[in-house]
Amino acid sequence: MMNRRRLFAYLFVLLAWSGGAARGDELVNEWKFRLRRPADGWQKAEFDDSGWRTGQGGFGTRGTPGARIGTRWRTRNIWLRKTVDLEQVPEKPGLLIHHDEDAEVYVNGQQVAELSGWSSKYEVVPLDAKARSALVAGKNVVAVHCRQTDGGQFIDVHLVDVDNVPELPKVTKPTPTSLMTVWGAAVTPENAWREYPRPQMQRDDWQCLNGNWDYAIGPDGQSERPSQWAGQILVPFCLESKLGGVQRLLAPEEWLWYHRTFTAQPKSGKRTLLHFEAVDYDCEVWVNGKSVGTHKGGNTAFTFDITDAVQDGENDLVVRVNDDTQAWQLHGKQVLDPNGIWYTRVSGIWQTVWLEETNATYLSDLTISSDVDTDEISVTASIAGDAADVALEIEVAGPGGAIVSKAQGDEPVATAKIPNAEHWTPDNPKLYEFEARLVDKAGNVVDRVQSYAAIRSVGTMRDEAGNVRLTLNGKPIFHWGPLDQGWWPDGLLTPPSDAGMLFDVEFLKEAGFNMIRKHIKVEPRRYYYHCDRLGMMVWQDQVNADHGAPWTHLAPNPRDAQWPDERHEQFMEEFEAMVDLLENHPSIVMWQPFNEAWGQHRSMATGEWIVKRDPSRLVNISSGGNFWPVGHVADQHAYPHPNFPIDNDRFRDYVKVVGEFGGHGFPVADHLWVDDGSNWGYGSLPKTIEELRGRYVESLNRLNELRKQGVSAGVYTQTTDVEGEINGLMTYDRKVQKIPAKELAELHKRLFKD
């Protein structure tokens, strides 16, 4: 059995688990804990444990038989304290305990149990009369010391009535962490995400609904709104995040409810639109008791026309969310059991909620395109309401004054030719602002929105050696960027603020990158606006699901996973929603439907669809493989240093890229998600910053040699540490640049020399 414990420890040595547990109806599951020996008297009720950390039981490592991990514990010793309030002392008290090698249990300073060896499940240990005498009606302090020297480990203890042992409480608390960004520390209900969320279709008349909402958690299938609310949650931050104020995990068998009121003054002939930038995952919305719509998909924006439900004055808004993380959902890096490269789940509203009032006929969408050969910007309008009697105009702020173009039709297209046009590049991210207007036959403006566009083209060409290279505006360009996951210690998937989100892009720009691989996440639309205006190319991943294929990298004859038709249709619906949401952003130059065979299915059909759907961009069917002959790219992942099978003729007609490499980890004290020795990076961890820098330079040199041989892009893992991963260029809280941006920029220059 001991060998089995060693096996579990070996299998999970690099995996970081995080979770938590709530108070059960009868069992207290919140502890104070310490991993270094405390002062004498730590067992006594009056001992001051205010400086100890807080965590949820039980404590241990993933894979330990019979364990329910609330807080990760990997050191040799742990000391625990909690307070249990007893209405009366049971006649037959006992300990419900699952323990490791040596466990000592004290109640109110008196030792009540000393257990050697270890258990593989929870057991009830009756307390004798002497131990019972330590218990009192009222508050009791339970103190525990546990020691572990080999293999997986676990400790959890509860005071129980032997004749009436309750069920263990559910794990409902995320990882306790002290990390907070400077932007997160400044968040209040009054300033939480107040920026207009849709920069490419901006109207003046809008109302932000972010702030404190009521919330409740009910059982799966509950049809009636809760009769009571559990408290308040700060929207747009999710249930599990620190900034949301709740920090509670949502179980698959639970539903999350939201409630708030808002004031409106609807006008005759106007439409009132309710926008959600993102809700994870499946939701229904009621306004004044009337259902106004449902939506499935956790990563993209959607809108409900609530004109027929809204009333003058105060209005009642209720949202119900079902988030069965994993299963068939497109969940990306979220998992029920966070570990290694998998992170804390995100449930409910996690981007801005807002209201907008329009005329009865209005611009519901714009599709923006450009032509570098003719220096033209074209805008195709989607019109809600009566489109027959209106014309589309666009007025572009071009060199020397405004340029006006008019078009009319069921789906009108207005095209403006820009004199002396500047083409968008990372070095010159020229944007042309324009106003799009709907004008009736009398010349009255029916609707107007402010927007912007860029003139640029993305493509490929062969160099003199026959390698397919990436181009921008017809010129070859080497793409160099980080894997960027967009996770935050305080907001999880939600950046703490627009300024915080902008900081990441500005850091990468200053560090000499010209591209970002946005990894398994759709950011708020303002993120892409910042990339547009700062000149940062983006490779955009589709958010993936489980049920993947065997990962064979770039090997021939790959296999696809088998997905049912209805699951594939939902995947494609969400893929189309992402493309439709983001296609106007000139910064996005590549779509990546799959990553490393995660949820990879129907690869040829999916690749052919996106190539046809958006011929203006490149397609990388699966970053890191499995490679299928569709799209434009062959992508290899290699850790820790970059590599690519250059001489393999199968990839002759494809752009060769190293879509992930590096991951050189370095822990920075006081800036870790958890500080228990379990943080990790790819390969052995460097012991000094100098060693980290040396490994980074070695990776750059190898990438540069690959560039000379035909590789057209490299992606370094990664921008920041994320939870247990410490392979970021910055710490998770963005407070420490492990290698300063200006120094990185100097190191990166070698990748852009002929």
pLDDT in tens, 405-458: 776 555 688 999 998 899 999 999 999 999 999 999 888 999 999 999 999 999
pLDDT at 7 over 60: no
pLDDT in tens, 457-470: 999 999 999 999 99
pLDDT tens-digit series, residues 178-195: 899 999 999 999 999 999
Eight-class DSSP state of 56? E
pLDDT digits (tens, 9 = 90+) for 698-749: 999 999 999 999 999 999 999 999 999 999 999 999 999 999 999 999 999 9
How many CB atoms are closer than 10 A to CB 233? 26
pLDDT of residue 5 exceeding 90, the answer is no
Q: What is the DSSP string of 388-413?
A: TTEEEEEEEEETTEEEEEEEESSS-E
Task: Select the more confidently predicted residue: 230 or 7.
Answer: 230
Measured CA to CA, the distance from residue 624 to residue 555 in angstroms comes to: 11
Residue 3 scores a pLDDT above 50: no
Cα(391)–Cα(412) distance, integer angstroms: 7
Backbone angles phi, psi at 545, to 5 degrees: -125, 180
Question: Residues 583-608: what's their mean pLDDT?
Answer: 97
Say how many residues make up the chain: 754
pLDDT at 61: 85
**pLDDT(20) > 60:** no
CATH architecture of 2-161: Sandwich (2.60)
Q: How crowded is residue 49: how many other Cβ atoms within 10 Å of its Cβ? A: 20
Please check the confidence at residue 297 and state whether its pLDDT lies above 60. yes
The band of 680, judged by pLDDT with boundaries at 50, 70 and 90, is confident
Q: What is the pLDDT of residue 337?
A: 83
- Summarised one tens digit per residue, pLDDT across range 255-293 is 999 999 999 999 999 999 999 999 999 999 999 999 999
Question: How much of the chain exceeds pLDDT 70, in percent?
Answer: 96
Q: What share of the chain has pLDDT > 90, as a percent?
A: 81
What is the structure's pLDDT at 698? Answer: 97
Model confidence pLDDT, tens digit, residues 467-487: 999 999 999 999 999 999 999
Cα 282 from Cα 67, distance rounded (Å): 31
The pLDDT of residue 94 is above 80: yes
Is pLDDT of 4 > 90?
Answer: no
CATH architecture of 458-752: Alpha-Beta Barrel (3.20)
pLDDT band at 754; cut points 50, 70, 90: confident
Q: Where are the domains of the chain?
A: 2-161, 182-359, 389-453, 458-752
Identify whether the C-beta of residue 539 lies closer than 8 Å to the C-beta of residue 592.
Answer: yes
Instruction: Looking at 583-673, list the stretches that DSSP marks H as alpha helix, in order from N- to C-terminal side.
Output: 603-613
Structure tokens at 629: 């002959």
Query: Which of 270, 272, 266 lies closest to 303 in space, CA to CA?
Result: 272
State the average pLDDT for the chain.
92
CATH number of 389-453: 2.60.40.10
Q: Which pLDDT score is estimated for 63?
A: 79
Residue 411's pLDDT is 65
Widest distance between CA atoms in the chain: 95
| Cα–Cα distance measured from residue 526 to residue 434, given in angstroms and rounded to the nearest whole number | 18
182-359 is classed in which CATH architecture?
A: Sandwich (2.60)
Burial class (CB in 10 A: 0-12, 13-18, 19+), 122: buried
Residues 6+ apart with CB under 8 A from 81: 31, 32, 33, 42, 47, 49, 52, 141, 142, 143, 144
Residue 338 class from Cβ within 10 Å (0-12 exposed, 13-18 middle, 19+ buried)? buried
Q: In the β-sheet with 110-116, what is the strand arrangement from edge to edge?
A: 53-56, 30-34, 77-86, 138-147, 102-107, 110-116
According to the model, what pLDDT value does residue 115 have? 94
Domain 389-453 in the same topology as domain 2-161: no
pLDDT at res. 13 = 30
The helix or strand, by DSSP H or E, that contains position 86, with its residue range, turns out to be strand 77-86
Query: What is the model's pLDDT at position 338?
Result: 86
